Amino acid sequence: MKNRLKVLRADRDWTQADLADRLQVTRQTINAIEKGKYDPSLPLAFKLAKLFGLPIEEIFSPDTN
Amino acid sequence: MADTRIESSLQAGLRKSNFQLLLATATWVGSTAIMSFGPSRFWDFDTTVTFLAIAANLIAGGFMLYSFFRHLKNMDELQRQTHLEAMALTLGITMVLTVIYGALPQANVLADAQPANVLFVIGISYILSVTTLWLRRTSE
């Protein structure tokens, strides 16, 4: 699954640690999601959507490959 | 300000459950040692005391399991998934190696198979699995 997490985070001038703090996860989790090595759970995806004020599909999109 | 509090609560929860797991594991190891060596060294094979030692070991084992699940619950989702996958890998590796190990005495390759050795396979497999899976996902 692809995502725009890095861009959205950079827009707000947040570090991975800042975002991790806001979501109550580790910085490594944010890094793994950004690099596409880990797909977040649905509750975490909803938390992200709420935090960025965007629908989930504007943050995550299916990997067509 | 609020963010720092959130970070602290995640880390504090992990630290607390980590300490409880350490304590529970130490208690279980201690009670296992008493159960194993107590009959010959401390109470001269008194069956009643041996059963009490077994009961204490079971309770300590239950406490350790409870502590482990609590620790899992306190982890964040990537940590939890890594540990669950490592457990699945450990189960498979242990099953395969235990069957081979059990067959060695029958094939006259080993004089005797000690069931306690399986614990080493479990421990080593689990540590290696957690480390490998975690590094694969979190390497920068």
Contact of B79 with chain A, judged by CB distance below 8 Å, is answered with yes
Prediction ipTM score = 0.90
B1 has a pLDDT exceeding 50? no
* Whole-number pLDDT of residue B113: 86
Name chain A contacts of B134, Cβ cutoff 8 Å: 28
Predicted confidence band of residue A65 (pLDDT cuts 50, 70, 90): low
B-contacting residues of A 2-61, CB under 8 Å?
18, 20-22, 24-26, 28-29, 31-32, 37-38, 40-41, 44
C-beta separation of B45 from B39 below 8 A = yes
Domain range list for chain B? 1-74, 76-140
In chain A, the percentage of residues whose pLDDT exceeds 70 is: 98
Half-sphere exposure of B73 (CA within 13 A, CB side): 9
pLDDT digits over B89-101, tens only?
999 999 999 999 9
- The string of DSSP letters for B89-140 reads HHHHHHHHHHHHHHHHHHTTSSS---TTHHHHHHHHHHHHHHHHHHHHHH--
B11 has a pLDDT exceeding 90? no
Q: CA–CA separation, B5 vs A26, rounded Å?
A: 14
C-beta separation of B61 from B28 below 8 A = yes
Q: Record the pTM.
A: 0.85
Q: In this complex, do B6 and A22 lie within 8 Å of one another by their Cβ atoms?
A: yes
Domain range list for chain A? 2-52
Q: Which CATH class is domain A2-52?
A: mainly alpha
Longest dimension (CA), chain B: 67
Q: In this complex, do A38 and B140 lie within 8 Å of one another by their Cβ atoms?
A: no
